[in-house]
Amino acid sequence: MSNKENTSEEIDLGQLFTLIGNAFNRFFRFIGNIFKGLFHYIILFLQFIQQHFWKFAIAGVIGIIGGGYWDYVSEPVYKSSMVVEPNFNSVQQLYNNIEFYNELAEEEEFQSLAEALKVSVEEAASMKKFEIESFSDQTQKIKQFSEFIKELDTISQKKVDFDDYLKNFNNINAKFHKVTIEAKDAKVAKKCQWAIVSSIENNQYFKLQKQINEINLALQDSIVEKQLLEIDSLQKFYRKIKTLEASKPEGSTSINLADSESDKSPEIELLSQIKLLKNEMVVLNDKKANTTNTINIISAFPNKGVLINDVLKRKIVLLPLVLIGAVFLFLWVLSLNTFLKNYKKEQIQ
């Protein structure tokens, strides 16, 4: 009985190993067929290129000659950039304005563009592209996150971490933004600078925000100054008490204004408060300097833009690629049409 059971177990194990072996064989055969198919299509592609090589070469040469001539007769384009720091949540309006200028340039509405940027129609016609982008490194993002956390209450601070902040960080959240103008006139960007900035500065909403900010800063400044005066009066009062105590004979009752539970004397406490108030004054002065304008110009447009000499944008590079691509597509369509005709004939036969 046991011999029969051992025999059946050996047969089952043999069948199992045979099935596993067959599965591996099918899998490797499948992978091999994929590579064979890829190799076959690569060979067909190379044969196609070999068959029409001179047609591609002629198209490339024509493209180089035509693109070189196009670059030669084309007017040079210059790029100018300005870095700004928007205040009072004006960054969205700035993005909208730059997008509006770019649409006018693309649609060749040069009269409207000239009126918006306070330049001549000829100068407006020289403008080709307007762009705006934000830039912020990791250090700047950490600083902004720290400022953001300070504005939240204690419960909200525990619910927000740096990773959550980065997930929701976008262009609008960045502190600095770069405005770029591409134009055929190398000096026109500098002439547009005042109009771009004043379009935000003259907005009534941002004017009101700026006025309220100035009032609030002046109020905070006056409070700090008043507190410093009060501390100065207390210091004089303590010095007077010290003088009176020193002039009394020994054994008389002395006046102790220090808190019995505190190890620090009142004078030291006052000095600590003075330090805190002066630090607060420094912060207020920084805020005054940074919010004097609705748009702070960190780096103005240069007097003359930089010539755009990007190889990938030159016609001598782009035109050959376009012509070769067009020839390739045309020949591929012809080959496909021939294949379909032959396939139809084979089916009929």
Q: Quick one: average pLDDT of 91-112?
A: 94
Window from 8-22, 103-117, 134-148, 202-216 with minimum mean pLDDT: 8-22
- Residue 11 pLDDT exceeds 60: no
**Would you state the pLDDT for residue 232?**
81
Percentage of residues in the chain having pLDDT higher than 90:
36
Q: Quick one: average pLDDT of 211-236?
A: 87
**Would you state the pLDDT for residue 13?**
64
Instruction: Give residues with Cβ within 8 angstroms of 188, minimum separation 6.
Output: 119, 123, 126, 127, 181
Q: Which residue has the higher pLDDT, 222 or 260?
A: 222
User: Using CA atoms, how far apart are residues 294 and 196, in angstroms rounded to an integer?
Assistant: 12
- The Cα-based distances of 161 to 75, 95, 172 in angstroms read 52, 28, 19
Q: Using one digit for the tens of pLDDT, what is the confidence trace for 17-54?
A: 777 777 888 888 888 888 888 888 888 888 888 888 99
Encoded tokens for 272: 């600590």
- Residue 156 pLDDT exceeds 80: no
pTM (predicted TM-score): 0.67
Encoded tokens for 109: 């509405």
Question: What is the chain's length?
Answer: 349
pLDDT band at 175 (very low <50, low <70, confident <90, very high): confident
pLDDT band at 260 (very low <50, low <70, confident <90, very high): very low
**Would you state the pLDDT for residue 301?**
95
The distance in angstroms from the start CA to the end CA of the chain is 65
Q: 129: which strand partners?
A: 182
Instruction: Give residues with Cβ within 8 angstroms of 170, minimum separation 6.
Output: none
User: Using CA atoms, how far apart are residues 64 and 315, in angstroms rounded to an integer?
Assistant: 8
Instruction: Give residues with Cβ within 8 angstroms of 138, minimum separation 6.
Output: none
DSSP for residue 151: T
Strands 78-86 and 295-299: antiparallel
b/e sequence 96-116, b meaning 16+ C-beta within 10 Å = ebbeebbebbeeeebeebbeb
Contact of 198 with 294, CB cutoff 8 Å: no
Q: Which residue has the higher pLDDT, 266 or 349?
A: 266
- Residue 261 pLDDT exceeds 60: no
If one counts every other C-beta atom within 10 angstroms of the C-beta of residue 134, the result is 16
Query: What are residue 153's phi and psi, to 5 degrees?
Result: -80, 175
Q: Which residue has the higher pLDDT, 152 or 88?
A: 88
